[in-house]
Amino acid sequence: MRERDYIRYLRGFQNKPKEVLVGIGDDAAVIKLPRKDLYVLTTDMLLEGTHFCLKGGRDTLQRAPTSKCTIADVGRKAMACNISDVAAMGCRATLALVAISFPVFTKMGLARRLFQSMRQTALEYGVSIIGGDTISGKGPLCICITLLGRAEGLRPVTRSGARPGDAILVTGSLGGSILGSHLSFQPRMREALYLNKNYNLHSMIDISDGLSLDLGHILEESNVGALLLEGDIPVSRDARRLSRKTGLSPLHHALTDGEDYELLFTLDPREAERFLKKNPLRVPVTLIGYIRREKGLFLQSADGKLSKIRPQGYEHR
Ligand SMILES: [Mg+2]
């Protein structure tokens, strides 16, 4: 594949919203944004062998991080992970730059399928790809997406605002993502925008590393602790299915698997009650515990027993 041909191909699919004055094809994109708003910027990298293994591809790692996937899966996931990060700030994803390093001898067909799946996912969420870079080299396939998000007059929600007494809520159900949802998940952008618009969220994160580890990030940044109610954690059907294979409990999978890309957030318990009374979102939302002044993460079992849990989950090495 010749890069020149690929870029010509990409230009044909450019969709240029009105805030983009110059898109793909120049040295840099030019954008014009409303001055009064706030913007969030995020970048996320996916590396073959570390974050995904392609079907029929070389398996250079001793330990496959996830099940094997197609190039379309990879494109979708690369875009969706970034959108999920913008969602976790309570903002709307808008413009993307895509940088790709292809292994030498990559065929045009594969490169096109990768782009089409990124573009399709972007379109579903109202994101426009307005530039980037492609190279080829001796390394594995590497995709790096930089995404701009808009706060739309709202306050971006950080990890550092959790307060003692806050209710801890989570969307969807957790665990067992390796059985498929780590590729097919829906970034919770609409949900995050709705929540940020209608409720005073104190802190929020998307679950990429696992419930206990990502909650740990909130606790650390907010300088607080938490108590989780064991019986209330929404354990997914896949967590149960996986537990039959691994011998670990479904709860363990829900706490540590990661790549759920659900929203984990905290707010005043009265606000939480108001929301839970009539959750208008299309996804279930569950109250799973409370923020405490006392440091550390504790799990309370049905009989009231407390055990300390060490934040753990999937960390890329
Ligand atoms: Mg994140």
CATH code of 205's domain: 3.90.650.10
Q: Could you tell me if 200 and 225 lie in one domain? A: yes
Task: Determine, yes or no, domain membership for 215.
Answer: yes
Q: Could you tell me if 45 and 94 lie in one domain? A: yes
Q: Which of 103, 122, 150 is the C-terminal boundary of a domain?
A: 150
- Residue stretches of the chain with pLDDT short of 50: 59-65, 316-317
Q: How far is CA 283 from CA 122, 228, 232, 269, 286, in A?
A: 21, 21, 16, 20, 10
CA of 47 to the centre of ligand 1 (A): 17
Task: Determine, yes or no, domain membership for 118.
Answer: yes
Q: Give the domain range for residue 90.
A: 3-150
Q: Could you tell me whether strands 167-171 and 201-206 are parallel, antiparallel, or unpaired per DSSP bridges? A: unpaired
Task: Determine, yes or no, domain membership for 199.
Answer: yes
Task: Determine, yes or no, domain membership for 289.
Answer: yes
Backbone angles phi, psi at 48, to 5 degrees: -60, 135
Which pLDDT score, from 0 to 100, does residue 57 have?
A: 63
Q: Could you tell me if 48 and 112 lie in one domain? A: yes
Q: Could you tell me if 132 and 22 lie in one domain? A: yes
Question: Apex CA 28: angle with CA 22 and CA 32, to 5°?
Answer: 45
Q: Could you tell me if 17 and 63 lie in one domain? A: yes
CA of 115 to the centre of ligand 1 (A): 23
The answer to whether the CB of 149 falls within 8 A of the CB of 93 is yes
CA of 1 to the centre of ligand 1 (A): 34
Phi-psi region of 64 (alpha: psi -120 to 50; beta: other; left: phi over 0): beta
Q: Could you tell me if 236 and 276 lie in one domain? A: yes
CA of 289 to the centre of ligand 1 (A): 21
Backbone angles phi, psi at 193, to 5 degrees: -65, -45
Q: Could you tell me if 145 and 179 lie in one domain? A: no
The answer to whether the CB of 65 falls within 8 A of the CB of 53 is yes
CA of 12 to the centre of ligand 1 (A): 32
Which pLDDT score, from 0 to 100, does residue 61 have?
A: 44
Task: Determine, yes or no, domain membership for 259.
Answer: yes
DSSP H stretches of helix in the chain: 3-11, 71-87, 108-124, 181-184, 189-198, 211-222, 237-246, 250-256, 269-277
Which pLDDT score, from 0 to 100, does residue 58 have?
A: 54
Task: Determine, yes or no, domain membership for 159.
Answer: no
Question: Apex CA 43: angle with CA 113 and CA 98, to 5°?
Answer: 30
From CA 90, how far away is CA 76, in angstroms rounded? 21
From CA 98, how far away is CA 13, in angstroms rounded? 14
Residues paired with residue 287 on neighbouring β-strands, in sequence order: 169
Q: Which of 93, 120, 150 is the C-terminal boundary of a domain?
A: 150
Residue in 163, 159, 173 with CA at minimum distance from that of residue 241: 173
* pTM reported for the whole predicted model: 0.93
Task: Determine, yes or no, domain membership for 261.
Answer: yes
Q: Could you tell me if 237 and 174 lie in one domain? A: yes
CA of 259 to the centre of ligand 1 (A): 10
CA of 127 to the centre of ligand 1 (A): 18
Task: Determine, yes or no, domain membership for 144.
Answer: yes
From CA 129, how far away is CA 115, in angstroms rounded? 10
Q: Residue 107 has which token pair?
A: 């065929």
Q: Could you tell me if 72 and 205 lie in one domain? A: no
What is the average pLDDT value for the chain, to the nearest integer? 93
CA of 88 to the centre of ligand 1 (A): 7
Residue in 292, 258, 97, 102 with CA at minimum distance from that of residue 182: 258
Neighbours of ion ligand 1 (CB under 5 A): 85, 206, 208
Which pLDDT score, from 0 to 100, does residue 63 have?
A: 43
Domain total of the chain: 2
Q: Which of 150, 177, 212 is the C-terminal boundary of a domain?
A: 150
Q: Residue 21 has which token pair?
A: 């004055």
Q: Residue 176 has which token pair?
A: 């067992």
Phi-psi region of 29 (alpha: psi -120 to 50; beta: other; left: phi over 0): beta
CATH number at residue 92: 3.30.1330.10
Q: Could you tell me whether strands 30-31 and 20-22 are parallel, antiparallel, or unpaired per DSSP bridges? A: antiparallel
Q: Could you tell me if 232 and 118 lie in one domain? A: no
Q: Could you tell me if 65 and 116 lie in one domain? A: yes
Q: Residue 162 has which token pair?
A: 């959790």
Q: Could you tell me if 230 and 260 lie in one domain? A: yes
